[in-house]
Amino acid sequence: MNTPDSNSVNNFFLNLQDSLCRQLAECDGGAVFTEDKWQRENGGGGRSRVLKSGALFEQAGVNFSHVCGENLPPSASAHRPELAGCHYQAMGVSLVLHPQNPYVPTAHANVRFFVAEKDGCEPVWWFGGGFDLTPFYPFEEDAVHWHTVAKELCRPFGEEGYPRYKKWCDDYFYLKHRNEARGIGGLFFDDLNEPDFVQSFAFTRAVGNGFTQAYLPIVQKRRDTAYGERERQFQLYRRGRYAEFNLVWDRGTLFGLQSGGRTESILMSMPPLARWEYDYQPEENSPEAVLTRDFLIARDWV
């Protein structure tokens, strides 16, 4: 089947948001998600859920949105000029997790679906998404686990999937103005519509459901690690890099802002606290130096 079923995708995304919030709140153990339901003036709406000041997460956000419109914003039509003037639907779930403990990595994931239609033409549709990890004090065994889960969830869909989407993630989550990676990557895919709708949707579901399998074991292993002011300040410094990427390079942020999305929900991904330091240089061979030297580079983990 190659006719897109938007209702099935919408229902999966709603259930995925519920599942993720339930698992993350249970893992946190000290706070719950609050919800804002919102409507977009130009069509559509969403549910924004945020957990603050928990036992584990300083801030965690899990958003669902389903927006529609008559004209695509420039960020979406720039590489597909034939879609200019189409009416469209864009829906998805995105999450960003900012733990309090610097030894627990920041994590991001999203899955999304897009369909554009013109009278008298076949609809143009695709899926996108992925997940990536941003450690501050990284451990090789955690990176291996993260990428092993990513590789295994890709395997049923072909051996070529993991290396392709792993490289795409490395290339996408890269701060060109800093000449450094945002983290250790994971999976990233976009424009997925092959071989057909059924398989593309199945892969998207595997990525959405697979995130907690990759992330929560790392959380449980690191959440009780003792830390001090040095580690906290370095975490805030690295969060500054995270903010730079989201504001300068992230296509999802640009699409949301250019399409008149809800600003509070779009910028939910920003860390609650961050800092910048002019020309910071970590002490040679320190844990902070090891992060940049050994982890913020493209490498094969599995």
Task: Please enumerate, by residue number, every residue annotated as part of a binding site for substrate.
Answer: 94, 110-112, 260-262
Annotated binding site for a divalent metal cation: 98, 108, 147, 177
User: What does the DSSP assignment read for 228-278?
Assistant: -HHHHHHHHHHHHHHHHHHHHT-HHHHHHHHTT--HHHHGGGS-SS----T
Q: How far apart are CA 180 and CA 238, in angstroms?
A: 12
Using DSSP's 3-state secondary structure scheme, residue 297 falls into coil
* Residue from 66, 87, 108, 145 carrying the catalytic annotation: 108
Query: Binding-site residues, please?
Result: 94, 98, 108, 110-112, 147, 177, 260-262
Q: What are the b/e assignments for 73-101, b being 16+ CB within 10 Å?
A: bebbbeeeeebeebebbbbbbbbbbbbbb
Residue 70, Cβ neighbours under 10 Å: how many? 10
Q: Quick check: bond before 99 cis, omega within 30? A: no
Q: Is there a catalytic annotation at residue 108?
A: yes
Residues designated catalytic: 108
